[in-house]
Structure 1
Amino acid sequence: MAIEIHVPVLGESVTEATVGKWFKSVGDAVAVDEPICELETDKVALEVNATASGALTEIKVEEGDTVGVGALLAIIDETAHGKTSPTPTTPKADVAPAAAAPAAASDAAPAGGVRASAAKIAADKAVDLSKIVGTGADGVVTKADVLNYLEHGATAPAAAAGSNDTGSTVVADASPREEVVPMTRLRRTIAKRLKDAQNTAAMLTTYNEVDMTQVIKLRNQYKDMFEKKHGSKLGFMSFFVKACVQALKEIPEVNAEIRDDAIVYKNYYHIGVAASTPAGLVVPVVRDCQDRSFSDVEKEIVRLGGRARDGKLGMDEMQGGTFTISNGGIFGSLMSSPILNAPQSGILGMHAIKERAMVENGQVVIKPMMYLALSYDHRVVDGKGAVTFLVRVKECLEDPQRLVLDL
């Protein structure tokens, strides 16, 4: 019996996606719930799973094609027995065309694998795939990589060196000076949203600094006990989430948004925690942080971060945030001005903790300091509110007992 695989519902207001890559080729065996392809939407990359076991007999769309919700992707024959692929990312049909290249070309496929569309072009143009460095996930060679190689790097490395008429050696630059790689749908959406935020909001940033001594001391004192009891490590982010909730309760406009001609104040605290992934920046949301304990916050951040890195975040896990925290400090950033995550009115930027000389009671002492930055929409938040918000966050972090006592 033939089973049709269609594009699933992609989420609220999302009507189309781009076919990112096929994990299976025509003739491959598939099992129920096994991923057969990946779709890229404006917000996430998601896998489409087989709804039946059998053999993949037809693929209806190519990698890079745009498809709408409900579009036919592939057909599975439940009565057939297909061949088994070596790995999900390197189907046999993907690397087979490399063997059809001229004898002068190497038969070795790139370690990261080859997408079917890339292999087809390479076979048609007699391109040696082993000479192409893949830019896809895990080093997979994409269609864009092959096209770029044909345009800029078609000279074989063996011909890179030679002699001119004067007898001197001439070394050619075999690598292209520029690479043209099409933006993914997710990257295009990130770029558009960031620019829209700059164009729409009256964005301003205020700064402060916080002494992290007490948080570090408390974390070091209880981190082993915390992990033993709750099964998760005690990080810094849970302190910042809880401190922001305290500050947002006092300065509600930072937790608000403009909707039409009204300001909507929210009495719940869905905190977005920005995460960097190979596909781009995503902001999964930790919901109802006002009702969560430190351990609940830590576990949810770890869970969402893992799903973000694996490209498995659902649309519902990234929608509905009321405030965002971005931690550039993990990459070494000392200070930056984060861009608002529209339609939110505030975003807190964390940065690297650095020991600095500070004056305390007339004495110079060394303290672990962090710069904080709050970018806010001045249409909603006045300067006084923004500064007060940062001061409250600073007070909670420099005296973390406030968080326990809800002060």
Structure 2
Amino acid sequence: MPTAFRRTARRATLATLSGLLGAGLLTAVATAPPAQAATTCSGTAAIYGVLPDNRLTFSTITPATGELKKVVLGADLGFEARAMATLNFNTVLVTSTAGALYRLDVLTNNTSLVLERPPVKLFDSGWTHDKLTYDGHGHLYGTAGGLLLQYLVSQPKPTGSAHIGQRREIGSGFVLKTLAAVGDDRLLATTSAGALLSYKIGSDGGWSRDDLKTSGWSAFDQVVSPGGGLYYGRIATTGAMYWYKDANPADGSGADIAYHNDTPVNTGGWTQQLLSAQPETFSCTTSVDPLDGTDIPAVKAAGRDLMNKHDGGAWNSTTQWNCLSQLWDRESGWRYWADNPNSTAYGIPQALPGSKMDAFGDDWRTNPVTQIKWGLSYIDGRYGTPCAAWTHFLDNNWY
């Protein structure tokens, strides 16, 4: 792994912050604050990339903290890449500088990244797009010469014009620095002047635009989103990657975007010339019947259910549950209003500061489900399993 991807500075920051978790005795306010509408988020952030030497990369980021979890490198693609879009976990579309469109069939795990077969050329020419992005709902978007184009992708592994077609010109004047899909026919873009823009594409091909920010985003040459209002931006000059959480990506406002500039994914090392997030691996849902957070047995039951489902059921065991149950018994008593008097740690997992949990829902102060999902993601990215986190707590009195 190139030194460019090392996380030394990032780990040092997290170690300092994490060292305060669990330190000191925790107290809770006398009464729990009233619950609000329950909007919770969950999932992962998976990003494919192409290095300047045309090797493929695959990275995962822990949504709870923005920490880079892993990065693996693959083989040379055999052609000079120009634009890319991720269709699903093992299918990526990449254009060449010669105007061809290729399908990459990817096989990856924690240690390796290979192509199941050589790149499959779907089109010999005509794909001169400078940007591509896929919305996860059948629509592939691209820009070429300021023209925004939409295509229908009808198969998870398209084989050519039979599965990528219905070319539609959405409009001209789309001279954008970055382009990313953030949901069903929803796009996020930045301009060279630093504006952050949101587009909604209608079923008839019409579109509307919201100006989320008028400035401040000019440094990013790559912006990607795994969905759920989670945005990642790469600065080309330093290779740094920063992350942001939009509480409501559909409201047309940038006022509710949380900036996590104090805890970047990395301060350097992201040297890929292209980046593309797997769409909709991170999502948010709103419940009209939120869990009664004052019913601790019910909260713990929800916690076990969420733990059992985490990472495809990898933690679904009595052993892991016993570790998680004891860990958060000690930290907070599973109270969503638990407040550490010696720090700004808050909630069931004692996030420090509590506002970190906004990545998993803007109701992080009062929704135990939001807090539990954040806590599971934190444990996964930091320790790997609840038992590893519990062991660390027993040795150090923090996790």
Normalized against structure 1, the TM-score is what? 0.22
More strand by share: 2
* Larger radius of gyration between Structure 1 and Structure 2: 1
More helix by share: 1
Normalized against structure 2, the TM-score is what? 0.22
Point out which structure has higher relative CO (alpha carbons under 8 A, 6+ apart).
2
